[in-house]
Structure 1
């Protein structure tokens, strides 16, 4: 790896880490924000929901826009928007201003994440170098999600919730100062036309789907808003597929979706993000409601998970090189499943932390093997002109997975606890949800072993 490639990698990794932190940094700070700006209890969830809607709903659309006008241009513009919206959010004096800032942050994330991944995959050729770059990228993205929970607790307790916004400003500014001189523009040789019907149907479909999921987590799966959102999302996504079959220049060519590596790779990525990010929610609930830990102590406990994800990201390219992508996916899923299943033995005393900490470390390693394997699988074998699409799909799987996991597991906990809020009731609900989480991880291992087994796996040497 040349010095210039190392610089490109460093800039892109810093940006992706910052974007990942944004997904979780406000989770711990929500009560403080509500008190500071006067959010009602029912409206507090919109701080997270407004971000999730725009981040997940517009990812595929902005991935294609990057193909049209240039990924570097989209990347830099979205980081400028992120820095500005973070400043506005930190200075917000009313709930309305904060929600506008969160929507803008979500749009910036929807644009920057696929553009940054496309710049990474087009800067590094297929093979060991790209696998190493994707491994580090995946490690820092997952570590960023965990670090957000830790950082949010520290900043809120020691300074103010406003610093959860302000912290983005200097990082975005530094990337904007360095990136233009070292990153070259990347776009297809032939500029495609925008498939407007396809873009509208998939964006509205994802918005409806994510809205339905968040409402289900908040009010239950039978709530009218949840049912309407999920139904509308399903109809619009079916319409999107039918539109793409007939479009002259589709947003997502059907032949790309039919590639097993793209289709099943993204399913595995979705499951990977659903399971690990929702496990963070479950363990936060367990540590605070059952063990009585403070938000700061619970957040710091996830540092072990962060170390595990970084370790897994560093190991993943080596495992892929010595075995195969398929072996890495299956082995990572099994390690994550065993580690998650061990959490079924958690009790109601602090002594359970001796089980929780090593289990989350090993689960983080396994999860990161899956995430890197998914990234390599979903972006391999496609020409540069389709890398924006491939990374857009991968980013969409990531962001929908992050959004999907918490409401699903929240609904499981609520159904099991039956409305009770006692320490034992929460423990019972969390235990059932951990069992569901383990089953989803095992489903991923089965999908990888069955759906990708016919693909020729050629071991690579570093």
Structure 2
């Protein structure tokens, strides 16, 4: 352990990791519980998707604002406020008596997560200044980010099967209560420049632009990429984000300094995050469909079936975090992305009678190990060299690109699956659709590897500017 750092940094790391796990976990924990919640609250099929979308929409839309407020007002303050807001929203959602109450609670969870997540990542970046220690810390943090979705599905299956869908929300409350005290005592306040000005035009355009884009992409699942609502909201989102870039270019104190993304290596890293999230989120969704609709797995068995990919991500992330010092980041990312693509391609060979141990188990291990290595490395790369006063907004951008990527992957590969299935509901046809989506995910990871090859030579992953 290096000398000279905050003596409480390792204890603080586990507080940060636990909070980040909650944020990622809650994006997926309700997926398996949705049928039960829909039945209890008499929700229509068209409104059911909003239980998931309300969270991702507000989370993605408010991330840049959350990151910038943390830089200006204090990341510890925002971290604790985000935890409290998350617990309150979760309690309200668990007591929901109708559809509107549940959707509002999920939206409030997303806003709270948008303030919590960038503060957590920024605190980690400022706590660990030693190259070797920072690499290990990012390995542990990357494991939490990568396995959160899997843990959510397993946890959701257990809670739904043995308790109630409401516990998929309520369980957040005791976890937050356990974290609040240690967070107040164990975290050191961190903030950026002394300026207290908030770029209001930049804040509004970033929030509206990202939110509109995510909503438009999510609409593509329901009405297709050429649907009116898809085109209107995606188009509006892109126009507003273009206006955001103009505003930031002219602003004396921009919400997001453009130099953060114009750096060739860092900008390429953000694109890689988008593509990894696109492939991984879609993989979780379509494998869930395959297991429940074709293989007739229960909610609990479906959650447990994702254990191999979770184990793979855990080992891939931690092993990479320990080995990163002195290893070229591009080498690690390319190897991990190729491994993940191979796992997706293997899953793309599924048939209705495919066995779990013969195909799904080894393919999930390959994906987990590869994505764990690649995601940990690219998250580190997008924050290396960022000025301390801008680490919050840079962290928020990492989270935002992951949310946008997940929405793009699910929508785009859903079109692929539906097209290949050809409208048939037979097991053979829909399995062919899922297989095509998995192959599409392999293609996205190969594209990410190509971007890493051409985005420029990087320093060793553990080096900081």
Is the TM-score greater than 0.5?
yes
Alignment map for 1:212-231 (pairs within 5 Å):
212-231=216-235
Contact 2:341 2:445 (8 Å CA) reproduced? yes
How does 1:12-411 map onto structure 2 within 5 Å? 12-191=16-195, 193-411=197-415
* CA drift at 1:109: 0.8
Structure 1 gap ranges (5+): none
How many aligned residue pairs are there?
459
Deviation at 1:321, TM superposition (A): 2.0
1:361-419 alpha-carbon deviations (Å, 9 max, x no partner) = 12111001111111111000122111112111111112222333222222221122122
Is 1:346–1:352's contact at 8 Å kept on the other side of the alignment? Answer: no
Q: Deviations over 1:27-77 (max 9, x none)?
A: 011111011011111111111111111011110111001111111111100
> What secondary structure sits across from 2:46 in the alignment?
coil
Q: What does the per-residue CA deviation read over 1:309-362, in whole Å, with 9 as the maximum and x for residues that have no partner?
A: 111111112332252211111111111111111112212214254211111112
Shift of 1:190: 2.4
Q: Structure 2 CA distance, aligned partners of 1:280 and 1:137?
A: 20
- Give structure 2 stretches of 5+ with no counterpart: none
Q: Determine the C-alpha separation between the residues in 1 that align with 2:364 and 2:338.
A: 14
Taking structure 2 as the reference length, the TM-score comes to 0.96
Deviation at 1:121, TM superposition (A): 0.5
In the TM superposition, what is the alpha-carbon distance from 1:231 to its structure 2 partner?
A: 0.7
Single out whichever of 147-156 and 289-298 deviates more from structure 2: 289-298
Separation (CA, whole Å) in 2 of partners of 1:361 and 1:238: 40
Q: Comparing 46-55 with 390-399, which one deviates more in the overlay?
A: 390-399
CA contact (8 A) 2:270 2:401 kept: yes
SS at match of 1:321: coil
Structure-2 change in CA distance of 1:459 and 1:98 (3 Å): closer
Structure-2 separation of matches of 1:60 and 1:459? 26
Find the aligned partners of 1:227 and 1:296 in 2 and give their Cα distance.
38
The Cα RMSD (Å) is 1.5
Task: Check 1:10–1:456 CA distance in 2 against 1; reply closer, same or farther (3 A cut).
Answer: closer
- Whether contact under 8 Å (1:67, 1:191) holds in the other structure is no
CA distance in 1, matches of 2:201, 2:179: 34
Q: Does the residue aligned with 2:445 lie in a helix, a strand or coil?
A: helix
Cα distance between partner residues in 1 of 2:456 and 2:380: 13
